[in-house]
Structure 1
Amino acid sequence: MSSEEIARKRLNAIQQQLTRSTGPADLSRERANASFDVNQMKTFFAGGKEFSEAMDDAYRFIQRDPELYLGDEYIFDASVTEQREATMRQLRRYVEVRDMLKSSLLVRAFHDAMCQYSEAFSMRLYVHEILFPQALRLFGTSEQYSEWIDDLLSWRIIGCFAMTELGYSSFLRGLETTATFDKKADEFIINSPSILSTKWWVGMAGETATHTIVLAQTVVDGKKCGIDWFVVPLRSRKTGRLVAGVAAGNIGTKYGRNGLDNGWIQFSGIRIPRTNMMMRWASVSPDGKYHPSPNPALSYAPLIGERLEVIRATISTASRALTIACRYGCVRRQGANNEQIMDFQSYYVQLMPGIAGLYVANIIDRITGSKWNKLVDNVDDGTLFLNNIADIHGISAGLKSIYGWWGVDILEFCRRSLGGHAYSSYNAIGEFIQDFSPITTGGGDNYTLMNQAAKYVLGSLKMASNGIKLEGSVAYLNNIQEALSRSNSSMASENEILDLNFITGALAWLSIRKAKAIETTLSGGGVAVWNDNIVHLIKLAEIHTHHYILSEYHNDLVEYGSTEYKDLLPMLTQMGQLWGTYVMQSLLELFLEEGYFSPSQAKMVKKVFYDLCRKTRKEVIPLVDAWAVPDFILKAPLGRYDGDIYPAYFNRVRNTPGCVGVPSYWSKYIKPMTDPDS
């Protein structure tokens, strides 16, 4: 075929695409490729048939309610002030509706659907109804929890969580805010001694919170005793004015989530009753005797739940972005033969690991969230809580970092996949990136968290080396001697790579080898040596966390063989295989460096990864359809379920304020140039 004939064919294809949308037919054809029951997968992903149906009901309720549903144009064109007012309007309506609902299942679905619809709403609700109450539950006595919880859940008071400081972020030992005990008055005096001690990035503190739970240095008789939690009033519940001794305000316009009023707080001698100190673990008696916590690490406990929430946030945000990118990729056509761009390897190989990763994350979220919730529910059993806190603290640090970083990567791949259209606010990807990015570092810098996870692994390695049997996420370290005696992999075929036992075994080997090497390097060294090896420590934490993810996923899959979801096992196994090979190929440099894989084996790993990406591409639309995200939650015309994307996109743009007409500045700046004689 001559170059002229190719050009003519291409022009004809473009003309056909512009005059007749192929999107609906393209997506219909893609949906016919499903090897599994999409409705059953939808039920599985939602966590059960009843909850899946409740989510459908909740979506309909939101879209029909004029106070909850804001409309697409408003969402993208509202000012910061308008966004914050609208978010509080949604919250007030949410509380009203929630209290009216009779079904606890529908209440949970209503909560999840609203949090999907608005990230700013989600964070306001999370700070007040989860973070603040959970801190009370973990650190307050039963009596203290009972004193506050009814007012919190009824929104008679509005709570926020003041831990991080301007100069110290989440470095708790460095926090400057003080709570000085006055024995005569039986009160604590809360102070911010310097600008560095200003509480910073506190959600709801900027405009709305009436109370905060504050982490501060406890000072008794002039001596710093430890860091503890205190409930401190911020604003009058009647007038909204700041109480005496408190200065607080907005941090200002942010990169995302501008419907949430993140703020700063400074305390200048505000007094609170002694009983406003949370006294489950540490306490101060009326005579000024300080009773310390049995474990200083307990101060981090409220952040464990926050870290685990990043998994859910990643699922919520990335599922929407991937749905848009994948549907667009199957509708958009280009190339000499007018191919679907989803068929280009450079396109699908970036997105398919994201599809698999979210199916894996969905199960990890259930497993780890359940472990944490059970631990919180049993906080009154101090021994049980203290025996398990270290493991879940270590793994939550790794999970928060892994899913935060990976979520950002997936969103960036989705942005690229939309080409220039991603720069339009009306296609939502930019909003997702802006709203998701702040939470990837909230609750502790990821590098710091990975150092904590690595420290936990190294401490556990030492225990295993001394013959102490380990449980939880580090149980694989019990096999340290076997791993150290084996120098390389005996893998001989591609089929072995598809075995999740092989993948988790390889990761366990690599983690032990890496940990042992770091232990030797750090031996006898101090802080300087640790700091010189942070890159290696972060990599150790990454390997350990991926081993946990894939081990838990694999163990959970085994249980579905005898359930109503058994027909989904082939696809769910494929998702685990793709995610596992994605992880392994990302670590190939280390596997080669340690001599575990030969160059030919490394090539096999890459080949299997690319083959799984191609195989998954064939069913990409059924896989994202099973996430059941409605169009009004996606907010992007390019991700429409029916595939008729271009008319929807054009109409969205045409209906925006100021789309057509003479601009207000025409007479002032343009007319003097274009019509100088008038």
Structure 2
Amino acid sequence: MALWDVIKGFQNSAGPDVNPDLDTERKTASFSVERLTNILDGGAENTQIRRKVNAVLQSDPEFSRENQYFQSQNERYEGAVRRAVYLSKKMDEMGWAIDGPENKYCYRALGDDLAFVVHGVFMKCILGLGTDEQIAKWVPLAEKHYIVGSYAQTELGHGSFLRGLETMAIFDVTTQEFILNTPKISAMKWWSGDLGRTATHAVVFAQLYIKGKCYGIHPFIVQIRSLQDHSPAPGVTVGDIGPKMNFAQADNGYLMLENVRIPKENMLSRFSQVLSDGQYIRQGTEKINYLTMVVFRVHIIQTEVLPNLMKACTIAIRYSVVRRQSELKSGGPESKILDYQTQQQKLLPQVATAYAFHFLCDYLQEVFDRGYAETKEGKFDLLPELHALTSGIKAFTTDYSSAAVEVCRRACGGHGYSLLSGLPSLYTALVASCTYEGENTVLLLQTARFLVKCLGIVKAGQPLPSSVAYLSSISSGKCGAQEKRDFLNPDVYTEAYKQRAFRMVENAAIKLQSLIQSGTPQHEAWNLCSVQLVLAAMAHSHYIVVQNFVNALEKIETEFNIQKVLKHLCDLFALHGIVSSMGDFLQIGHLSEKQSDRVIESYLDLLDLIRPDAVPLVDAFDFSDANLNSAIGCYDGHAYERLFEWAKKSPTNNQDNQTFEKYLKPLFQNALSKL
């Protein structure tokens, strides 16, 4: 058998025995699934590399996910550490570089099954904020896992509000050391990944004090545990924070520091330095401390949010064509539940959202690469835009994706409630992403602050950053579309989103300014406008996503059949957003009541257009059965058989029933003489 056949074989477990309901769906695809997969991967070569990585990992029993849903927290943690250590060796054995494409695909395949995820953030933080000397010292050790790092920013009493962090780092001029303290319980570091039982070091964010003066938040490398016996370092109290909704393997920890001394060289100093005499030197802006958070926000959208949404869509769509229930036609056979318009209305917009977010990730990476490169050169002009853009997009994508996965879970009925479906784990993982690396409401307010500032720049006649350029070129006017087909014109719905974003930002800014001019203190005025500001930031982010999806379609115009089905998805994503927030578009006067009816009609027509390609569209995401780890979402469609087979593996089916002996048997024996 050729290597390519082996690789393809590991992608799914579907032999010749495929559920006929699923097989029929694949035979009627209007486009090449393989070609669409290549486009999503950024080229056929990347698809080959990814599948090869998948095949290698899935052929190795060390990476098996069998029985994962029946494991305890300790078992999940130990397994994650074991696999992470083993993967490092495997990558060396295969010649896969840590900065190569294979590394990315390893994490796509194994993701939540690995420890040391925040260890990667630890390294990125050093690479972004450390000097060349610090990078040369620490990163090689971290790459080989000779040390394991954590990222200790969030505190028990403070999260997204960095200026409020209470951990202190006092510079001692006589010893050339920093003395770190968490002075009270609310200052204790909390939630840091890889910290509870694993990390040897951490990048700790603390308020820098020199000769009694505070210079704000700065990052410090602190040794947490001994490299000899893993005991806590002097002055360090560290441990696990306890059970969570998900991420049993993630090892989230707490950290208290009492007079912990570290050498001066351990302050990450690419942009801020403390000289030996205590003189403080800063290069650029204090907002540079957001750089690592920006890096990680882009990372989690690409590697956690989007893949989990795609997996949920794959599971729910496949299940919805093998699950038959009730009759569409009286006396006829039970129908596939995806043939019901209500099921299509639940699931197809989520598939459209997954595609929208995929192309958004490409755009985000381009913007980030440009901004990051300039920052490394000491140019900080793009940092405010980059921070505002990633803040809003992180909030928008995590909010929409967590809601979308819950829709997918509920669309699978009772079986969606079973852990064996894979959907509850995807949901609880995405819900967490709405909080970490910036709580969504706080992030949206940060985006809103940038938008309000940009409106002021417009009035001053100055140019705007590219992502908000529309704020200076908006033209008032009502939508000119009349027929329902008019609303399938990208110019029409893009303009609608632009109008909504501008009007909501403008209205919030006008209210804010009015309150301030009437004598309301600025902080109070901001609070009184905060709900409108959050909604405005969401509207802005929504416009960015729609505009980017439209732009992405232009880049694949030579792929006629694929562009056609993606155009349907783009239309559906845009119109679903309008239908879901119709009040906004009516309130600003852009749409009339009659036009809103046409939008709904056009939206519902799209469901019927996309329905025949639903399975091919999720097949193009190209997740193997092992990737999905779902009894109801497998490629061959044998959902019921797998549910039963997996359920039989539950340890409770093979344990002595002590509960019966202790509590139930005495009750049941009372019936022996009566039955």
Which interval holds the TM-score relative to the shorter structure? Answer: over 0.9
Counterpart in the other structure of 2:161: 171
Counterpart in the other structure of 1:672: 666
Matched, 1:56 2:47: no
Counterpart among 544, 551, 554 of residue 547 in structure 2: 551
**CA shift in 2, pair 1:90/1:457, >3 Å:** same
Could you say what secondary structure the match of 1:208 adopts? coil
What letter corresponds to residue 59 of structure 2 in structure 1? R
**CA shift in 2, pair 1:659/1:48, >3 Å:** same
Counterpart in the other structure of 2:628: 634
Runs of 5+ consecutive residues of structure 1 not aligned to the other structure: 1-21
Tell me, in whole angstroms, the C-alpha distance in 2 between the residues paired with 1:156 and 1:105: 15
Counterpart among 367, 377, 381 of residue 381 in structure 1: 377
Matched, 1:429 2:423: yes
Counterpart in the other structure of 1:598: 592
| 2:116–2:148 Cα contact (<8 Å) kept | no
Residue 434 of structure 1 deviates from its aligned partner by 2.2
Counterpart among 126, 131, 141 of residue 117 in structure 2: 126
Counterpart among 237, 248, 251 of residue 258 in structure 1: 248
Counterpart in the other structure of 1:332: 323
Tell me, in whole angstroms, the C-alpha distance in 2 between the residues paired with 1:374 and 1:98: 29
Q: Percent identical across equivalent pairs?
A: 29
Matches within 5 A, 1:427-506: 427-480=421-474, 483=475, 486-506=476-496
Counterpart in the other structure of 1:645: 639
Tell me, in whole angstroms, the C-alpha distance in 1 between the residues paired with 2:111 and 2:75: 14
Counterpart in the other structure of 1:36: 31
Tell me whether 329-338 or 653-662 shows the greater mean CA deviation: 653-662
| 1:211–1:235 Cα contact (<8 Å) kept | yes
Tell me, in whole angstroms, the C-alpha distance in 2 between the residues paired with 1:57 and 1:105: 16
| 1:161–1:203 Cα contact (<8 Å) kept | yes
| 1:141–1:280 Cα contact (<8 Å) kept | yes
Counterpart in the other structure of 2:127: 137
Residue 653 of structure 1 deviates from its aligned partner by 1.3
Residue 184 of structure 1 deviates from its aligned partner by 0.3
What letter corresponds to residue 617 of structure 2 in structure 1? L
Residue 513 of structure 1 deviates from its aligned partner by 1.6
**CA shift in 2, pair 1:355/1:518, >3 Å:** same
**CA shift in 2, pair 1:62/1:546, >3 Å:** same
Matched, 1:208 2:191: no
Residue 236 of structure 1 deviates from its aligned partner by 1.2
Residue 104 of structure 1 deviates from its aligned partner by 5.0
Could you say what secondary structure the match of 2:208 adopts? strand
Matched, 1:537 2:533: yes
Residue 659 of structure 1 deviates from its aligned partner by 2.2
Counterpart among 101, 105, 114 of residue 112 in structure 1: 105
Given the two structures, how large is their TM-score scaled by the length of structure 1? 0.92
Residue 322 of structure 1 deviates from its aligned partner by 1.2
Matches within 5 A, 1:236-385: 236-312=226-302, 313-336=304-327, 337=332, 338-383=334-379
| 2:360–2:548 Cα contact (<8 Å) kept | yes
Could you say what secondary structure the match of 2:376 adopts? coil
Could you say what secondary structure the match of 2:375 adopts? coil
What letter corresponds to residue 260 of structure 2 in structure 1? I
Counterpart among 158, 167, 177 of residue 187 in structure 1: 177
Counterpart among 85, 88, 108 of residue 78 in structure 2: 85
Could you say what secondary structure the match of 1:248 adopts? strand
**CA shift in 2, pair 1:65/1:217, >3 Å:** same
Residue 222 of structure 1 deviates from its aligned partner by 1.1
Structure 1 vs Structure 2 CA RMSD: 1.9
Residue 560 of structure 1 deviates from its aligned partner by 2.2
Matches within 5 A, 1:614-633: 614-633=608-627
Counterpart in the other structure of 2:13: none
Tell me, in whole angstroms, the C-alpha distance in 2 between the residues paired with 1:522 and 1:658: 59
1:411-463 per-residue CA deviation (whole Å, 9 max, x = no partner) reads 11111111111222211111212222222210111000000111111111111
Tell me, in whole angstroms, the C-alpha distance in 2 between the residues paired with 1:501 and 1:310: 31
**CA shift in 2, pair 1:105/1:158, >3 Å:** closer
Residue 614 of structure 1 deviates from its aligned partner by 2.2
Tell me, in whole angstroms, the C-alpha distance in 2 between the residues paired with 1:39 and 1:454: 41
Could you say what secondary structure the match of 1:227 adopts? strand
Could you say what secondary structure the match of 2:159 adopts? coil
Tell me whether 660-669 or 202-211 shows the greater mean CA deviation: 660-669
What letter corresponds to residue 295 of structure 1 in structure 2? T
Counterpart in the other structure of 2:210: 220
Counterpart among 367, 387, 410 of residue 393 in structure 1: 387
| 1:323–1:639 Cα contact (<8 Å) kept | yes
What letter corresponds to residue 79 of structure 1 in structure 2? S
Matched, 1:233 2:223: yes
Counterpart in the other structure of 2:562: 568
| 2:193–2:251 Cα contact (<8 Å) kept | yes
Tell me, in whole angstroms, the C-alpha distance in 1 between the residues paired with 2:548 and 2:140: 37
Residue 656 of structure 1 deviates from its aligned partner by 2.5
**CA shift in 2, pair 1:661/1:295, >3 Å:** closer
Could you say what secondary structure the match of 1:412 adopts? helix
Paired residues in the alignment total: 644
1:557-592 per-residue CA deviation (whole Å, 9 max, x = no partner) reads 222225xx4542112222211111112222210111
| 1:217–1:224 Cα contact (<8 Å) kept | yes
Counterpart in the other structure of 1:3: none
What letter corresponds to residue 341 of structure 2 in structure 1? Q
| 1:166–1:197 Cα contact (<8 Å) kept | yes
Structure 1 runs of 4+ aligned residues shifted over 4 Å read 103-107
Residue 105 of structure 1 deviates from its aligned partner by 10
What letter corresponds to residue 154 of structure 2 in structure 1? T
Given the two structures, how large is their TM-score scaled by the length of structure 2? 0.92
Residue 349 of structure 1 deviates from its aligned partner by 0.4
Counterpart in the other structure of 1:9: none
Could you say what secondary structure the match of 2:140 adopts? helix
Tell me, in whole angstroms, the C-alpha distance in 2 between the residues paired with 1:216 and 1:105: 30
Counterpart in the other structure of 1:517: 507
**CA shift in 2, pair 1:293/1:195, >3 Å:** farther
**CA shift in 2, pair 1:70/1:597, >3 Å:** closer
Tell me whether 460-469 or 102-111 shows the greater mean CA deviation: 102-111
| 1:34–1:622 Cα contact (<8 Å) kept | yes
Tell me whether 516-525 or 99-108 shows the greater mean CA deviation: 99-108
Residue 224 of structure 1 deviates from its aligned partner by 1.0
Tell me whether 316-325 or 486-495 shows the greater mean CA deviation: 486-495
Counterpart in the other structure of 1:14: none
Could you say what secondary structure the match of 1:287 adopts? coil
Counterpart in the other structure of 1:11: none
**CA shift in 2, pair 1:106/1:445, >3 Å:** closer
1:244-302 per-residue CA deviation (whole Å, 9 max, x = no partner) reads 01111001111101011000111101001111111122211100011235322222111
Counterpart in the other structure of 1:47: 42
Residue 110 of structure 1 deviates from its aligned partner by 5.0
Tell me, in whole angstroms, the C-alpha distance in 2 between the residues paired with 1:45 and 1:380: 30
Residue 157 of structure 1 deviates from its aligned partner by 0.8
**CA shift in 2, pair 1:98/1:371, >3 Å:** farther
Could you say what secondary structure the match of 1:254 adopts? coil
Counterpart in the other structure of 2:21: 26
What letter corresponds to residue 421 of structure 1 in structure 2? H
**CA shift in 2, pair 1:584/1:93, >3 Å:** same
Residue 552 of structure 1 deviates from its aligned partner by 2.1
What letter corresponds to residue 362 of structure 1 in structure 2? H
Residue 607 of structure 1 deviates from its aligned partner by 1.5
Counterpart in the other structure of 1:419: 413
